[in-house]
C-alpha cells in the first residue's frame, strides 16, 4: 500500500505536468492558426482566445495517453536512476507486481479521462464551434441529432441529411414575418450548391395567411440564402468529439434514416477502448524502463515517452482509417493497437517471473 501511494503520487504529478505542457504547446499553435481568421466577419482576437480555451478539454482528452506514458516514463526513470527501482525489485517485488501497482494508479487516470471525455469536452467543443461559426458568418448555426439548424434573418433552416459534394437532403425552411408569425414553410427533397446559390428540387411550399393555408409544388427553384456549405462544415462536430451516449443516439438516428454510420461506430469503439489504452500506456513504461540498465537522463526518457505516445496515437488513427476504407469490423480496427500493446506487455511480464 505504501509502495502504491509512493509510485502513484509520482506518476500522477509527472503526468499532470506533462499534460499541462502538451496542452499549452498545442493550444499555442491552435491560437496561431485561429489568428489567421481574425478580421473575418465579427471574429476578433478575443473570439480566437475564447475558442482555444473552450477546446482545451477536448485537447486534454486526446493528449491524455501521451501525457501518461511521458509521466510514467519520467517517474520510473527517476526511480531507476536513483537505484530505488533496483531496491524495489531486489526486495521481492516482481515486474508483474509492480504492474499491478500501476494499474491502481491507472484507474484514477481512467476516471479523470471519462469525466473529461464524456461530460466536459463534448459540451465545450460544441460551444466552441458554434461561437466561432456565429462570429465568422454572422449566422446562428448548430448540429443536433435532428440535423443541421441555422437562422438566416427571419428564416429558420433545418437540414436533415448532409452529403458530400455540397449536397443536402430533406430541407425545411420556415419563414416568419417581423411580428414572428409563421408565414410559409418550404420542404425540398434535396438540393445542391451551384454558383453561390442553392438549387432546391421537389419542393412543397405552404403559404399561411389569416384566412387560409395553401400548398404549391415546384420541380426546382433557386434559393438565394446567406447559408453556404462552409457554415455547415464549421459546426459539424466530428464523431470522436461526441460523448458515448451522444454517439449511440446519433448512430440510432442515422440507421433509422438509412444513412451510413460507419465512422460513428468506429468512434464509439474508440471511446470504449480508451480506458484500456490508458492502462496499456502505463504498463508499457515498465517494459521500457529497466532498473539494471545504465542511467538515462530525464530528458531522454521524456523524449522516448513522447515518441511512444505519439506512435501509439498514430497507430490508432491509421488502424481506424484503414478499417473504414477496407470494411474491417469497427471493434477490431479500434482495438488492434491496444491489443498488440497488451500482448507485448504480457510477453514481457510473463518472462519476469
What DSSP line would sit under 76-90, residue for residue? HHHHHHTTHHHHHHH
Domains of the chain, with CATH numbers?
2-138+237-350 (no CATH), 154-225 (2.60.450.10)
Q: How much is the pLDDT for 217?
A: 92
Average pLDDT, stretch 90-96?
Answer: 74
Residues 6+ apart with CB under 8 A from 57: 116, 120, 121, 124, 125
This prediction's pTM? 0.78
Q: How much is the pLDDT for 292?
A: 44
Give me the phi and psi of 217, to 5 degrees please.
-110, 140
Cα–Cα distance for residue pair 89/106, rounded to 1 Å? 21
Grid cell for residue 208 = 399561411
The DSSP element (H or E) to which 8 belongs, if any, is helix 2-35
Query: E strands along the chain, which residues?
Result: 140-144, 147-152, 155-163, 167-176, 182-194, 197-208, 213-223
**Residue 66 scores a pLDDT above 80:** yes
pLDDT tens, position by position, 282-324: 888 888 876 444 566 777 888 888 899 999 999 999 998 888 8
Q: Which range in 13-17, 88-92, 296-300 is most confidently predicted, on average pLDDT?
A: 13-17
**Residue 327 scores a pLDDT above 50:** yes
Cα–Cα distance for residue pair 344/353, rounded to 1 Å? 15
Q: How confident is the model at residue 231 (pLDDT cuts 50, 70, 90)?
A: low
Cα–Cα distance for residue pair 325/302, rounded to 1 Å? 35
pLDDT tens, position by position, 201-221: 999 999 988 888 899 999 998
Grid cell for residue 135 = 462570429
Q: Could you tell me which of 237, 220, 221 has the C-alpha nearest to residue 147?
A: 237
Cα–Cα distance for residue pair 333/127, rounded to 1 Å? 30
Amino acid at each position: 500500500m505504501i509502495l502504491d501511494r509512493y509510485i502513484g503520487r509520482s506518476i500522477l504529478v509527472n503526468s499532470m505536468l506533462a499534460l499541462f505542457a502538451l496542452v499549452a504547446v498545442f493550444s499555442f499553435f491552435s491560437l496561431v492558426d485561429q489568428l489567421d481568421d481574425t478580421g473575418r466577419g465579427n471574429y476578433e482576437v478575443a473570439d480566437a482566445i475564447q475558442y482555444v480555451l473552450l477546446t482545451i478539454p477536448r485537447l486534454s482528452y486526446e493528449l491524455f495517453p501521451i501525457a501518461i506514458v511521458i509521466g510514467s516514463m519520467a517517474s520510473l526513470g527517476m526511480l531507476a536512476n536513483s537505484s530505488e527501482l533496483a531496491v524495489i525489485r531486489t526486495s521481492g517485488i516482481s515486474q508483474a507486481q509492480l504492474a499491478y501497482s500501476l494499474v491502481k494508479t491507472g484507474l484514477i487516470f481512467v476516471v479523470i479521462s471519462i469525466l473529461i471525455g464524456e461530460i466536459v469536452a463534448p459540451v465545450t467543443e460544441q460551444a466552441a464551434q458554434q461561437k466561432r461559426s456565429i462570429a465568422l458568418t454572422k449566422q446562428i448555426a448548430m448540429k443536433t441529432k435532428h440535423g443541421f439548424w441555422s437562422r438566416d434573418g427571419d428564416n429558420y433552416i433545418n437540414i436533415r441529411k448532409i452529403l458530400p459534394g455540397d449536397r443536402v437532403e430533406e430541407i425545411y425552411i420556415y419563414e416568419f414575418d417581423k411580428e414572428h408569425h409563421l408565414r410559409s414553410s418550404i420542404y425540398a427533397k434535396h438540393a445542391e450548391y451551384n454558383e453561390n446559390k442553392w438549387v432546391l428540387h421537389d419542393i412543397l411550399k405552404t403559404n399561411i395567411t389569416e384566412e387560409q393555408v395553401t400548398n404549391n409544388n415546384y420541380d426546382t427553384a433557386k434559393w438565394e440564402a446567406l447559408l453556404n456549405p462552409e457554415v455547415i462544415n464549421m459546426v459539424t462536430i466530428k464523431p470522436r468529439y461526441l460523448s458515448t451516449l451522444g454517439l449511440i443516439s446519433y448512430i440510432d438516428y442515422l440507421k433509422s434514416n438509412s444513412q451510413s454510420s460507419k465512422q460513428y461506430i468506429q468512434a464509439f469503439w474508440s471511446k470504449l477502448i480508451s480506458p484500456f489504452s490508458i492502462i496499456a500506456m502505463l504498463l508499457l513504461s515498465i517494459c521500457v524502463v529497466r532498473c539494471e540498465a545504465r542511467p538515462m537522463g530525464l530528458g531522454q526518457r521524456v523524449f522516448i515517452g513522447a515518441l511512444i505516445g505519439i506512435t501509439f496515437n498514430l497507430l490508432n488513427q491509421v488502424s481506424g482509417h484503414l478499417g473504414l476504407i477496407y470494411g474491417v469490423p469497427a471493434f477490431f480496427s479500434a482495438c488492434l493497437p491496444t491489443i498488440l500493446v497488451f500482448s507485448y506487455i504480457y510477453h514481457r511480464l510473463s518472462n519476469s517471473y
